[in-house]
Amino acid sequence: MNPADVAQAAPVAHDMSLFGLFWQAHFVVKLVMVGLLAASVWCWAIIVDKTLLYSRTKRAMDRFEEVFWSGQSLEELYRSLQSRNSTGLAAVFVAAMREWKRSFEGSGRSFQSLPQRIDKVLDVTIQREVERLNARLTVLASIGSAGPYIGLFGTVVGIMNSFTSIAASKNTSLAVVAPGIAEALFATAIGLFAAIPAVLAYNKLQSEVGKLQSRLEGFADEFSAILSRQIDERIGHAGHHPANAA
């Protein structure tokens, strides 16, 4: 077969448009492409959600700190936040206050290990909050690290497939080899298309989670310091109500 004829016949046999590339690909390659495209959609969904969530959380923290340091009675603040499903700093505050309250309710006052218990509660709440912020970030990490490999797998399968057809047609002209390889490389392209934003977003979001976590911990430390001071005062002259402290 004359290579010139092959070159002429090639555009007819191989539609090099984006859809053509997908449609002529091997079944496995198609599957890889579809999977990677879905992964890209998912990963961008997570990126959008997380970005919104973090900015919301940050704003909520700003607002809470403003209220908290405004000199408002902690009891009042607790009552206003208690009923709501609060997050962030508010959740930490509510958890600690609940523990505090429980210690003073009923007959048996248990001051002995109250600071330790409050610390525990604070730790657990912070952990829960961070977990909530971190949720689904691992998906980004997975897509970021595995995407290129999945794409590469598609490419390897595609190239294997095209080499098999080259062997079958006994023609090594570039016009015969090129379309198959282009199809195969398309899989890697989609893999990288999904993975690159995932990696970048993962790093950015991770650092933001770190910032929020340190802010939560800082607040928890401050709040537990306030509470333990209160406890010490209560032990000194028992009978006072903690709500009057702040």
Partner 1 sequence: MALKLKFNSSEPGFWVSGVAHAALLGAALVGLSFTEEFPDAEEGIPVEIITDNQFSQITKGETSAKEVLPTPKPRADRIADKVEQRDPGEDKRDAPAPPKRPEEMKVAEKEEPVAAQPPPPPPPPKPSQAEAEAKAKAEEQLKLAEKAEAEAIAKAAEAKAKAEADAKAKAEAEAKAEAEARKVAEAKAKAEAEAKAKAEAEAKKVAEAKAKAEAEAKARKEAQAAKKLDMGDIRQFLDNKERNQSTGATGSEVQKTASLGTATGTAAKLNPSMRDALGGILKEQMERCYQPPIGAAGSSVALPMLDVRFNPDGSLANEPRIIRSGPNPIDRTVAEAALRAVRRCAPYNIPAKFAPYYSDWKAWNIEFETNQI
User: What residues make contact with partner 1 under the rule CB under 8 A?
Assistant: 16-19, 37, 40-50, 52-53, 56, 135-136
Please say which residue, 53 or 176, places its beta carbon nearer to partner 1. Answer: 53
Please say which residue, 41 or 225, places its beta carbon nearer to partner 1. Answer: 41
List, in sequence order, the alpha helices (H) in 72-136.
74-82, 89-104, 114-134
Please say which residue, 13 or 16, places its beta carbon nearer to partner 1. Answer: 16
Phi-psi map region of 239: left, alpha, beta (phi>0 left; psi -120 to 50 alpha): left
CB of 102 to partner 1, least distance (A): 32
Rg (C-alpha) for the chain, rounded Å, is: 30
Q: Shortest CA distance to 246 belongs to which of 125, 96, 140, 135? A: 96
Please say which residue, 68 or 186, places its beta carbon nearer to partner 1. Answer: 186
Give the contacts of 198 (CB within 8 A, at least 6 positions apart).
Answer: 43, 47, 140, 141, 143, 144, 147
CB of 227 to partner 1, least distance (A): 32
Q: How far apart are CA 102 and CA 58, in angstroms?
A: 30
CB of 178 to partner 1, least distance (A): 10
CB of 96 to partner 1, least distance (A): 26
Give the contacts of 153 (CB within 8 A, at least 6 positions apart).
Answer: 32, 187
CB of 195 to partner 1, least distance (A): 15
The SS3 assignment for 73 reads: coil
Please say which residue, 77 or 182, places its beta carbon nearer to partner 1. Answer: 182
